[in-house]
Amino acid sequence: MNRVRFALFAILAALPIAAAEMPQTGQTAPEFSLPSQDGSNIAIKEFRGKWVVLYFYPKDGTTGCTIEAHNFQQDLSKYEAAKAVIVGVSVDSTDSHKDFCAKQGLTFKLLADTDKKVVDQYGSLGTRGVANRNTFLIDPSGKIVKVWTGVNPNVHSKEVLETLETMEK
């Protein structure tokens, strides 16, 4: 009997944790409100009238996440010129985001989804309980116009800017 229980446990443990279905191009971006690194609550609907680059990332301070954040920060003036805002989301706490922003000189909003509800709502909850590296480009009316999954942090900001340029024409 113990062998059967062990085998059943092993099978169940190997199954991936299923995230909610990922919103797709053409759909309205799911609504949410989360605390940012400065303690204020940020609702996605506050950005209506602007383009939103909503990016999910695994963990503050890790190599890939730092590279991705630096590239977004480096290109921030280009996003602002395109009337776009950058919003990052991870399951880290607001204190972790505050430290990450201070150490890395980040000035855009990082939102804390410690309950993992928004990460899951956007189909971006990974099997390890952190966010997968996915990005949603949301137009000024609140519709998703582009989705990137499993992005390369080294070139992602450039990819988003190129797409944003084509959307504005």
Active site residues: 65
Instruction: Determine the Cα–Cα distance for residues 99 and 103; give it in Å rounded to an integer.
Output: 6
The residue to which tokens 């709502």 are assigned: 121
CA distance 2 to 13: 16
Distance CA 93, CA 116 (A): 11
> What are the backbone angles phi and psi of residue 59, rounded to the nearest 5°?
-160, 135
